[in-house]
Amino acid sequence: MTWPDSIKGSVSAGDQSAVAADKPLFIATNAAEFPQQTPQWRTGGNWASGSDDTAAGYSGRRAYDRQPQNQTKATTSGTTFYLLFDLHTASTDPSIGEAATIDAVAVLNHNLGTLLTGADTATVSIQISETLSFTINYTIASRTGINTDERIIFYNLGVPEGGSFETYTGVRYARLKIETTTSIMPPSIGQVILGRRRQVSARPDVPYDDQALASNTTDFVSESGTITRYTRYSGGRTFAPTWTPTGSDAYSLDDVTTIRQWFEDCSYGSKPFLYVDKPHSERETSQTGITRSGHYVLAEPALEMPAEGPVLRNASLSFTEIAPFQTGET
C-alpha cells in the first residue's frame, strides 16, 4: 500500500546522517497519550468488529502512562494478538502539535521471551490505517525472530522496515500486532511509544562515562557490627552528557534548538523519555534502524545552556534511568 502523501514524509537528511554517525537521539513525545478512546486488545484486530479482549485490571491506558512497570495484556491465548490505538490527530485536536508526528516507535517491558520456549519466536509489528476496520493497513516497523524480553526500539520507520526514515503526521488508527510461531498465554506490554525523535549532531563532550551504572541501597548496622544491606534497586544507568552547541552544527542541524525542543517535549524535565545513546553502533545485528539499547530516563527538571563565547553554549544534562532497567532484560 502507498500511504497518502498528506500523512507520510521523510526524516531530514541531516538527521539521517547524524544517526548513521552514531549521534544520540531523544524520543520524548508519544502520540498514544492522546487517544480518542482507550487502547484495547481486540479480537479480529480492528475497531469495526470483534470485541474487547483486554484483561480486567490491565487497562490499555497502561500502554501510554509513562510507567513501563505497569503492564497491559489481553485475556485470550493464541498465536496473534492486537493492541489497538485510536489517536487524536492535528485535525481533531490541534493543541497536540508535534506530538502527533511519529518517526520512532518503541515497545518496552514485554514478556515475549518468557512466554516462548525452545525455538519458538515472535514477530512484532506496528501498523497504521486510515480506517477503523484496518482493511488497508501499512506496516511502519517490524521485528522478526524475537525470543527475549528485551525492549524493541525502531528509530527508522518505513518499508523495508527500518530503511526508509519515514515520518507520519495525523495518524488516526494504529495497532501493535504480535504473531508467534506457537500458541502462548496473552503477552504483557509495559509501554508503546509512537514518538517524535530529536536528533543531535555530536557525541557528548569528553570526559563522558557511557557505562555508568547505579544501585540504591540502605545499610542496617547491628550493635555487634553486622551490616545488612537492603537493595531498593540495582543496575540502573546514569548519564551526564555535555554538549557545546553553536546553533549551526554538523549535518546542518541546530543543536541549541533541538535540545530546547526535547526539553519542551518532556514537559520541561517533568516526564520520562527514551534516550538512545548509540543508535548505530549498538543497533541489532543485521537490523537497520532497530536497537535494544535505549534507556527510559528522567532528566533533571532544569535546562541551562550558558553562553561561553559569541556563539558557543554549554548544555550540561543529567539523566537517571527508571525501572525496569535495560540491564535486567534477557
| Single residue among 148, 174, 199 that ends a domain in this structure | 199
- Classify residue 207: in a domain, yes or no: no
pLDDT tens profile 8-53: 899 999 999 999 999 999 999 999 999 999 999 999 999 999 999 9
Residues 55 and 154 in one domain: yes
- Report the DSSP beta bridge partners of residue 42: 52
Element (H, E) at 180: strand 173-184
Q: Contact 293/282 with Cβ under 8 angstroms?
A: yes
Please state, in angstroms and as integers, the Cα–Cα distance from residue 79 to each residue in 113, 126, 128, 142, 263, following that order: 14, 16, 21, 16, 40
| Single residue among 199, 232, 248 that ends a domain in this structure | 199
- Classify residue 314: in a domain, yes or no: yes
Residue 232 amino acid letter: R
Whole domain around residue 109: which residue ranges? 8-199
pLDDT tens profile 31-42: 999 999 999 999
Q: Which residues contact 318 (CB under 8 A, 6 or more apart)?
A: 238, 239, 240, 299, 300
pLDDT tens profile 266-319: 999 999 999 999 999 999 876 678 999 999 999 999 999 999 989 999 999 999
Neighbour-count burial of 118, counting CB atoms closer than 10 A to its CB (0-12 exposed, 13-18 middle, 19+ buried): exposed
| CATH number of domain containing 179 | 2.60.120.260
- Classify residue 163: in a domain, yes or no: yes
- Classify residue 2: in a domain, yes or no: no
Phi, psi of 95 (to 5 degrees): -70, -15
Residues 185 and 279 in one domain: no
3-state DSSP call for residue 322?
Answer: coil
| Single residue among 199, 234, 267 that ends a domain in this structure | 199
Residues 114 and 248 in one domain: no
Residues 14 and 163 in one domain: yes
Residues 183 and 224 in one domain: no
Residues 169 and 134 in one domain: yes
3-state DSSP call for residue 116?
Answer: coil
Give the pLDDT score at 285: 72
pTM over 0.85: yes
Taking the C-alpha atoms of residue 126 and residue 106, their distance in angstroms, rounded to an integer, is 10
Q: Total domain count for the chain?
A: 2
Tell me which of 164 and 211 has the higher pLDDT: 211
Residues 24 and 138 in one domain: yes
Please state, in angstroms and as integers, the Cα–Cα distance from residue 226 to each residue in 31, 48, 220, following that order: 52, 64, 8
Phi, psi of 114 (to 5 degrees): -70, -40
Residues 153 and 96 in one domain: yes
Residues 192 and 299 in one domain: no
Give the pLDDT score at 309: 86
3-state DSSP call for residue 110?
Answer: coil
- Classify residue 204: in a domain, yes or no: no
Q: Contact 93/34 with Cβ under 8 angstroms?
A: yes
Residues 99 and 217 in one domain: no
- Taking the alpha carbons of 86, 11, 107, 49 in that order, is the dihedral positive or negative? positive
Residues 227 and 292 in one domain: yes
Residue 98 amino acid letter: E
pLDDT tens profile 153-167: 999 998 655 468 999
- Classify residue 206: in a domain, yes or no: no
- Classify residue 3: in a domain, yes or no: no
Give the pLDDT score at 257: 97
Give the pLDDT score at 163: 62
For 257-273, what is the mean pLDDT? 97
pLDDT tens profile 155-210: 999 865 546 899 999 999 999 999 999 999 999 999 999 999 999 999 999 999 99
Give the pLDDT score at 286: 66
Residues 170 and 220 in one domain: no
pLDDT at 2 over 90: no
- Classify residue 254: in a domain, yes or no: yes
Element (H, E) at 164: none
Element (H, E) at 14: helix 13-20
Q: How confident is the model at residue 5 (pLDDT cuts 50, 70, 90)?
A: low
Q: Identify the CA nearest to 34 among candidates 201, 190, 193.
A: 193
pLDDT at 114 over 60: yes
pLDDT tens profile 62-80: 999 999 999 999 999 999 9
